[in-house]
């Protein structure tokens, strides 16, 4: 059984769009108005990212930072672009710059945590995601990733707690339902009925069939 932690492009794109909208309100304005050139650069970056044209997106976000070097939105999104391009060191540097400007920039912590997870840097991922949860406790994605990292370290109860929180915050979060089902099956003895409930909820939400999970549920009868 493979833990799903949003590995498809749509999930990543939605995360980046979310970062943009939240940071526009979270970052203290450097001026009394936003220059049109900056708005144009943001729009170009967004459109390019949607098309997975990361090179164009990078140039657009770099223009944002030329106009406003401390723009948190530009820094976080540029960090995400660099990560998508495989430039992990540059991505880390950029995201950490955002954090150095404003410690409570939760999206930067989340982006770092996701990148560290991809690199199997468990301690760093746990630290970054814990910070993301501290500064944005109602972010379902953060709770999902934090639950997965905790569970991989063997703390099943903690993983379940975070993943339950994720699906409470976003009942349509397919991957969080799936991950929660996986960790319910890792209990001793397995919590079959709870796992079944969340697995089939994930299926209702569009999850593809998982043969290993299906086999587990077919060999156990649901309680009346």
Is 2 part of a structural domain of the chain?
A: yes
List, for residues 164-183, the tens digit of each pLDDT value.
999 999 999 999 999 999 99
For 48-87, write each residue's pLDDT tens digit: 988 889 999 999 999 999 999 998 888 999 999 999 999 9
State the CATH number of the domain containing residue 173: 1.25.40.10
Rg (CA), the chain: 19
The reply to whether 185 falls in a domain is yes
Domain carrying residue 51: 1-103
Tokens found for residue 166: 């994720």
| Angstrom distance (rounded) from CA 65 to CA 67 | 5
Q: Residue written as tokens 């370290």?
A: 153
Q: Are 98 and 75 in contact (CB under 8 A)?
A: yes
Q: Count of CB atoms within 10 A of residue 49's CB?
A: 24
- 86 and 9 within one domain: yes
Specify whether 24 is located in the same domain as 76.
yes
Distance CA 92, CA 87 (A): 9
Both tokens assigned to 79: 């960090």
Q: Using 50, 70 and 90 to split pLDDT, how confident is the model at 46?
A: confident
- Shared domain check, 160 and 63: no
Query: Do 83 and 153 have their domain in common?
Result: no
Q: How many CA atoms lie within 13 A of 53 on its CB side?
A: 10
Domain count along the chain: 2
Q: How far apart are the first and last CA of the chain?
A: 26
- Asked whether residue 123 is assigned to any structural domain, the reply reads no
The Cα diameter of the chain in Å comes to 64
Which structure tokens are listed for 98?
């955002």
Confidence of residue 222 (pLDDT cuts 50, 70, 90): low
CB 205 within 8 A of CB 181: no
In terms of phi and psi (left: phi > 0; alpha: psi -120 to 50; beta: otherwise), the region of 8 is: beta
What is the pLDDT, as a whole number, of residue 38?
87
Which residue would you say has higher pLDDT here, 201 or 26?
201
214 and 168 in a common domain: yes
Residue 24 forms part of a structural domain? yes
Residue 31's CB is within 10 A of a number of other CB atoms, namely 8
Q: pLDDT (tens digit, 9 = 90+) per residue, 8-22? A: 322 333 233 333 333
Q: Where are the beta strands (DSSP E) in the chain?
A: none
**Do the domain assignments include residue 179?**
yes
């Amino acid at each position: 059984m493979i833990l799903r932690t949003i590995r498809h492009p749509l999930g990543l794109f939605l995360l980046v769009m979310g970062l943009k909208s939240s940071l526009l309100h979270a970052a203290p304005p450097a001026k009394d108005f936003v220059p049109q050139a900056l708005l144009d650069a943001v729009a170009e970056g967004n459109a390019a990212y949607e098309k997975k044209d990361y090179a164009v997106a990078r140039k657009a976000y770099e223009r944002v930072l030329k106009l406003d070097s401390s723009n948190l939105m530009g820094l976080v999104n540029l960090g995400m672009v660099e990560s998508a391009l495989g430039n992990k060191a540059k991505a880390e540097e950029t995201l950490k710059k955002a954090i150095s400007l404003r410690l409570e920039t939760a999206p930067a912590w989340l982006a770092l945590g996701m990148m560290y997870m991809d690199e199997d840097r468990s301690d760093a991922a746990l630290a970054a995601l814990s910070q993301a949860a501290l500064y944005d406790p109602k972010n379902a994605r953060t709770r999902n990733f934090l639950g997965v990292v905790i569970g991989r370290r063997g703390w099943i109860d903690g993983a379940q707690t975070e993943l339950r929180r994720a699906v409470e915050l976003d009942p349509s979060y397919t991957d969080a339902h799936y991950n929660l089902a996986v960790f319910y099956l890792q209990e001793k003895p397995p919590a079959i009925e709870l796992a079944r409930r969340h697995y089939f909820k994930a299926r209702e939400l569009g999850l593809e069939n998982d043969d290993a999970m299906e086999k587990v549920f077919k060999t156990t009868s649901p309680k009346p």
